[in-house]
Amino acid sequence: MYKGKRKNELTRNKRRKKSVTPVMVGLVMIIGFFVGIGSFSIGYNYMMADAEDEINTNTFSANDIAGQAQANLIGSDVDAVVTNINKLENGSSITFKNLKNDTTNIVNVTEKTIFPKAINEANIYVGDIFTYVFDKEKNLVELKECENAWTFNDIGARVNKTAKLIKFGSESKEHKDASYKYDENIISIRDKSGNSITLEKLSPLDTLKLTGYNNGIVDRVYSIQVVNGHGTVELKNINKIKNARVKIDNVDTTVSIGNPVLTLSEGTHTVLVTGRNISDIEKQVTVSEKTPAVLDLSNVVVSTGALTVYSNVEDYILYLNDKEYNEEESILLPYGEYKVIAQKDGYKTFTSTVTIDEDQNTLKVNMSRLKESGILSLNANPSEAEIYINDEYVGKGSVKVELALGSYIAKAVCDGYESQSKQINVSVDGQEISGSFDLKAK
């Protein structure tokens, strides 16, 4: 019996525990809920009471956050680029763009502002990069050179306005194929005198000083200064030189005869001009950005060459550029082109041109008769025979006559002999034809 009773008590206890557990859990959750509400209410009232005099809104705005970020920078070194300079009656204000977070800050220049060596309000430009320090009154405490900015000088820069890139080509000394982004609203471009110019004024021939900053995301250029610019030189009268070739500083250079103007970097350059009708000339020209240089080639030293003349006639008169020359004379002429005229009685005037561009030069003078003809020579046996051409008596025994081009009948007649006839054709000017008659007795 004891065992049975003990077993029944254990069973009742287990049932009792099962029925009590859900009730306890529910009670704990209710108590926890009210305790949480009470704690939140106390904490909220505490925070509101603590900030009541400072914040009148329930949330922070973007301006509040930016302002707090600027406040955190008071007295600190800030790397920034100048985006605006406002001249005031009692000083000036400078707008800086933070190069690490793109926020802007306007600070006032005062008498106490400390500038780096050789820098003052007058020579600060948009696009300049500095490290600056400001105080809580937004006064510029100190302006420093930015150690994190980069700068270099090079040539070969080209502007890609579509991509907003400064790119360096093959002319570059150290930065070939390099490229840098730019912001057209911030970038400063100045000539050697510090005057503002446009990107279009830059040439790959210019030596440029670039200043920029890499914030870890983009490498951007903010300032371009022309260190050495470009200018032009005109090769005047180069069209008078045959097969002209030009070298600038020992580099072959293409020159347009129609527009012989070359663009070169500023400074002194060596110009070498060669051609078939001149002696080589080498000149030093100084190119300036403001004043175009001119190299006049009209008075270059000209080379000379010998001229040998071949002609199909003798005793003619030869003129070269209206100057008379004897056919047996040795002719030595300066390089160039000459007008040729040859004349002889009974011949058409010969006209042509000849170019003297080598040590030895030749000229062929072919003159034609005013009336083209040939020479006919005839012999007859016996010598007393009379000779006729087209029934016109021309002589006895042996004759020599000039005939115009065409066909003729030559005939030999003598008493006691049978007459003979021949057809003669003169077809080429200057042709010489010979023939003979051997008459038979009757």
Segment 142-153, tens digit of pLDDT: 999 999 999 999
Provide the percentage of residues in the chain whose pLDDT is more than 70: 84
Q: Provide the pLDDT confidence category of residue 26 given band limits of 50, 70 and 90.
A: low
- Is 70 exceeded by the pLDDT of residue 175? yes
- Is 50 exceeded by the pLDDT of residue 237? yes
Q: What is the CATH number of the domain that holds 419?
A: 2.60.40.1120
235 shares its domain with 223: no
Polymer length of the chain: 442
How confident is the model at residue 20, as a pLDDT? 46
Q: Provide the pLDDT confidence category of residue 430 given band limits of 50, 70 and 90.
A: confident
The per-residue pLDDT for range 306-353, each reduced to its tens digit, is: 999 999 999 999 999 999 998 777 899 988 889 999 999 888 899 999
Q: Provide the pLDDT confidence category of residue 303 given band limits of 50, 70 and 90.
A: confident
How confident is the model at residue 176, as a pLDDT? 92
> Between vectors from CA 189 to CA 267 and to CA 107, what angle results, nearest 5°?
140
Q: Is residue 258 part of a domain?
A: yes
Domain of residue 358, residue span: 304-365
Using CB atoms within 10 A of its CB, is residue 222 exposed (0-12), middle (13-18) or buried (19+)? buried
- Is 90 exceeded by the pLDDT of residue 33? no
216 shares its domain with 243: no
Q: What is the CATH number of the domain that holds 87?
A: 2.40.50.140
Q: State how many domains the chain has.
A: 5
Give the C-alpha distances (Å, rounded to integers) separating 359 from 179, 340, 354, 412: 54, 19, 14, 58
**Could you tell me which residue, 73 or 15, shows the higher pLDDT?**
73
Those residues with Cβ within 8 angstroms of residue 426's Cβ, 6 or more apart along the chain or in another chain: 373, 374, 376, 403, 404, 405, 406, 407, 408, 433
Q: Is residue 427 part of a domain?
A: yes
377 shares its domain with 326: no
The per-residue pLDDT for range 105-121, each reduced to its tens digit, is: 999 999 999 999 989 88
> Between vectors from CA 69 to CA 65 and to CA 70, what angle results, nearest 5°?
120
- Beta strand pairing status for 91-98 and 104-114? antiparallel
- What value does the mean pLDDT take over residues 198-214? 95
Q: Are the CB atoms for 233 and 209 separated by under 8 Å?
A: no
How confident is the model at residue 52, as a pLDDT? 40
How confident is the model at residue 346, as a pLDDT? 83
How confident is the model at residue 299, as a pLDDT? 82
Instruction: Read off the tokens for 78.
Output: 């800030």
Q: What is the CATH number of the domain that holds 275?
A: 2.60.40
How confident is the model at residue 189, as a pLDDT? 95
**Could you tell me which residue, 90 or 135, shows the higher pLDDT?**
135
Q: Provide the pLDDT confidence category of residue 373 given band limits of 50, 70 and 90.
A: confident
- Beta strand pairing status for 219-228 and 179-182? parallel
- What value does the mean pLDDT take over residues 154-174? 93
Q: Provide the pLDDT confidence category of residue 70 given band limits of 50, 70 and 90.
A: low
- Beta strand pairing status for 406-413 and 420-426? antiparallel
Q: How many helices (H) and strands (E) does the chain have?
A: 2, 33
Lowest mean pLDDT among 19-28, 169-178, 243-252, 301-310: 19-28
Q: Which of 88, 122, 145 is the last residue in one of the domains?
A: 145
Q: Is residue 11 part of a domain?
A: no
Q: Which of 265, 296, 327 is the last residue in one of the domains?
A: 296
How confident is the model at residue 15, as a pLDDT? 47
Q: Which of 93, 111, 145 is the last residue in one of the domains?
A: 145
pTM: 0.56
How confident is the model at residue 31, as a pLDDT? 56
- Is 50 exceeded by the pLDDT of residue 49? no
Contacts 24+ apart (CB under 8 A), 399-403: 400/375, 400/376, 401/375, 401/376, 402/373, 402/374, 402/375, 402/376, 403/373, 403/374, 403/375, 403/376
Q: Is residue 15 part of a domain?
A: no
Q: Provide the pLDDT confidence category of residue 42 given band limits of 50, 70 and 90.
A: very low
> Between vectors from CA 373 to CA 372 and to CA 375, what angle results, nearest 5°?
155
- Beta strand pairing status for 179-182 and 245-248? unpaired
Q: Is residue 394 part of a domain?
A: yes
